[in-house]
Amino acid sequence: MSYLISADHSLVMFVDIQEKLIPVIHNHEQVITKSHILLKAAASLNIPMLVSEQYTKGLGLTVPMLRSEISKDKIMEKTSFSCYADQAMKERIHQINRKQVIICGIETHICVLQTALHLKEAGFVPFIVSNAVSSRYPHDYKMGLKRMQKAGCMLATLEMVLFEWLKDSSHPDFKNITKLIK
């Protein structure tokens, strides 16, 4: 297994970045901004994406900045905290057939953690984008990251993901991707 993130082996999951929950999340603007950059970069590089929405009746839809730029067929509603525990999402993940799952979203210690741990148990390599996940309380965020890392999930930052996808400054999308982070 390579420890480097590969665009050819990646699936990006946006976990529950929803309108009614996001305002109470610590550093919520950063989560939205970094997730939006990740979405744009993944789209530019033709990397498959999935968006989960937890109980939309109570928590609302995915925030407009993300929802407006992703096709509806990639957005899936769930009631289980883990995306992988949802049968329809599990089937879609297996259909996409990418072993590296890049995860951003909320909350770090609940849905992100349970998704990552289930994926790890199932033989996937979860990469948690540490500056694109959060929780209501900073301690929950920190403990969620620690627990996932201890379980063998990989931690990364947005820029780590982007530059590992590109591999080289001669990549045809290098200028477009680097413009996203300036």
Catalytically annotated residue among 16, 83, 86, 120? 16
How far is it, in rounded angstroms, from Cα 16 to Cα 87? 17
User: What is the SS3 assignment for 60?
Assistant: coil
Q: What is the pLDDT of residues 5-33, one digit of tens each?
A: 999 999 999 999 999 999 999 999 999 99
| Residue at 182: amino acid letter | K
**Residue 99 domain-assigned (yes or no):** yes
User: In terms of pTM, does the model score above 0.85?
Assistant: yes
**Residue 41 domain-assigned (yes or no):** yes
Q: Which two tokens stand for residue 10?
A: 């990646």
Domain hosting residue 19, numbered range: 7-180
Q: What is the pLDDT of residues 35-69, one digit of tens each?
A: 999 999 999 999 999 999 999 999 999 999 999 99
Q: Which CATH number is 126's domain given? A: 3.40.50.850
> Structurally, how many domains does the chain consist of?
1
Is the backbone peptide bond immediately before 107 cis, with ω within 30 degrees of 0? Answer: yes
Q: Is 86 a catalytic residue?
A: no
How far is it, in rounded angstroms, from Cα 44 to Cα 177? 8
Burial 134-160 (b: 16+ CB within 10 A, else e): bbbeeebbeebbeebeeeebbebebeb
Catalytically annotated residue among 83, 86, 104, 111? 111
Q: Is 73 a catalytic residue?
A: no
